[in-house]
Amino acid sequence: MKGNLRDFSTTQILNLVSLAKKTGTLSVERKDMRGSLSFKDGKLIFAAVGEADGSLASILARDGRITKEQAAALAKHAQKTGDKQLGLLLIQKGYVTQSDIIQSIKRHSLAAINQIAGWKEGSFFFDASRMPDDGRITVPLDLESIIIQLARVQKLDEQLEEEIPSLDVCLKFVNQPGVQLKDLQLSKDEWRVIKYIKPDNTIRMIANTLNMSDRQIRRVIGSLREAGLVELVRVVRRQPLTPEERENKRNIVDRLIGRLQAS
């Protein structure tokens, strides 16, 4: 099974894998990134995308359970022993529990599959003979609930595209007497966006500055609008003057200067 995500979405592929209870690895690649999802009997057991390669050290670091420095040292150890042995060592030393490892891997897998599901184009290939290395820790996840959640997110994204069809608009804060921004419980991304809400900054400019995709910035703006904090402001751009209009404007200015000099 191979093709392009323009013709066959990730959600459709996952449906097929789930219904057919397939075993193997789906590799997806686009211009700037690649990812892979491994399945056993129709269940997701392993995921990797970009720098999030699915290794235990990187997963625990991204989940905040160990530092980046610790992850770098543990990654070298895992190259010799594998993630399973590394996990047992960390549990024995009391750094993490088995539940910690399982929950971190689940969060990583869900984040990876959500990221890949957002790709609108890219080549994919399903290899029934390829599976994760034996040393990897695999945690099976039912695809049915994942597919339902992806469908909800996709529907939300479609609604946001209708509500915010253009990113070339500005934002302004809604006047709410008695409401202090510092007292609000906002996400990290929402705070990042709020810092750049200025009269001359369009949503697209903010997205580019923060290296956010169109989908990411729409989600954040949608959340801020739903909370009643911001509203859209259309950007009124002046049309460039024609040569005749520029000449007329120049003549008017020249006449005004002449009058001032004569007075």
pLDDT band at 51 (very low <50, low <70, confident <90, very high): confident
Q: Which candidate, 165, 166, 107, 92, places its Cα nearest to that of 139?
A: 107
pTM for this structure? 0.73
Same domain for 225 and 239?
A: yes
- Among the candidates 131, 160, 189, a domain finishes at 160
Same domain for 131 and 48?
A: yes
Look at residue 159 and tell me whether its pLDDT is greater than 90: yes
User: What pLDDT was estimated at residue 54?
Assistant: 93
Of residues 156 and 252, more confidently modeled: 156
pLDDT band at 212 (very low <50, low <70, confident <90, very high): very high
Q: CA 167, CA 232: separation in Å to the nearest integer?
A: 10
Same domain for 110 and 148?
A: yes
User: What pLDDT was estimated at residue 196?
Assistant: 95
* Total structural domains within the chain: 2
Same domain for 147 and 190?
A: no
Task: Give per-residue burial for 17-50: e unless 16+ CB within 10 Å, then b.
Answer: bbeeebbbbbbbebeeeebbbbbbebbbbbbbbe
Same domain for 15 and 144?
A: yes
- Among the candidates 160, 183, 211, a domain finishes at 160
